[in-house]
Amino acid sequence: MKRVNILCIDTTSEFCSVSLFENQTLIENNNSKIERSHSKLLINLVDDILINNNLKINELAAFSISKGPGSYTGLRIGLSSIKGFCYALGKPLISINTLKVLAKSALEHINDKDSILCPMIDARRMEVYTKCYDYNLNEISSDKAIILEKDSFDKLKDKSVYFFGDGAQKFNDIINRENFIFLDNINPDSKFMGELSYDKFVNNQFEDLPSFEPNYIKDFYLIKKKGKWERS
């Protein structure tokens, strides 16, 4: 099998995460949880991984990014850095839905193959970005932003459903059902992007660099409240 080195990056949350894969095998994973510093940390994390593995950046076959939804600022920083690498080196860009990355990470904690996986990313107040998958990570629903209510997932009341991600606690606070199971400490992490990225690589599923944008789900804009600008 031909050796393929893919560098995977996730900057969608408070974690800045970089992982190196050889084909589908994780070689090294670097994470930092220092908020508001992705721009400073990302290049350092990339450099550290390359140095530790005696690799030159042009020996990478492709770059893969967790494309959102997530932090607007983090998404922009991650994508601008990766696009810069791809343009400079002539390498392809792969993107993976962040909700799918979360679902992939949650599989380590789920044994029920008939269950439904429902990652949730906090979108402020009672709103979350979410999407449902089956155990094999086939999509059951599309990406969406929803305002959580007690009946938000009534259609799934007869199935075992796992909720996780930094938005799941808000739903746990307002719902109480035996078949709704909440997992803690499931965060976006590039170490779960390897298999998904390699599959796209071998199938030539690359993004168009000039036109590719993060998956924001909804438009980003600012509103002024009490003299301060806030995201809405």
58-74: pLDDT as tens digits: 999 999 999 999 988 88
Predicted pLDDT of residue 38? 65
- What's the whole-number mean pLDDT along residues 154-167? 92
| Domain 5-98+188-231 matches domain 99-182 at the CATH topology level | yes
Distance CA 32, CA 136 (A): 29
- Residue-wise pLDDT tens digits, 172-208: 999 999 999 999 999 999 999 999 999 999 999 999 9
Cα–Cα distance between 118 and 165 in angstroms, integer? 9
What whole-number distance in Å separates Cα of residue 161 and Cα of residue 177? Answer: 10
Cis peptide bond N-terminal to 188, omega within 30: no
Among 3.40.50.2300, 3.30.420.200, 2.60.120.260, 3.40.1260.10, name the CATH number for the domain at 99-182: 3.30.420.200
Question: Residue 218: pLDDT above 90?
Answer: no
CATH 3.40.190.10 fits 5-98+188-231, yes or no: no
Report the predicted TM-score, pTM, of the whole model to 2 decimal places: 0.91
Burial class (CB in 10 A: 0-12, 13-18, 19+), 158: exposed
Query: What does the domain layout of the chain look like in residue ranges?
Result: 5-98+188-231, 99-182
Dihedral over alpha carbons 17, 19, 24, 26 (to 10 degrees): -110
Q: Rounded to an integer, what is the distance from CA 12 to the centroid of its chain?
A: 6
How far apart (Å, rounded) are the C-alpha atoms in residues 17 and 74? Answer: 11
Q: What is the pLDDT of residues 12-27, one digit of tens each?
A: 988 899 999 999 999 9
pLDDT of residue 223: 43
Position 104 pLDDT exceeds 80:
yes
Specify whether the CB–CB gap between 105 and 193 falls below 8 A: no
Q: Minimal CA–CA distance to 95: which of 13, 173, 196, 177?
A: 196
Is the model's pLDDT at 229 over the cut of 60? no
How far is residue 83's CA from residue 116's CA, in Å, rounded to a whole number?
Answer: 34
d(CA 178, CA 104): 23
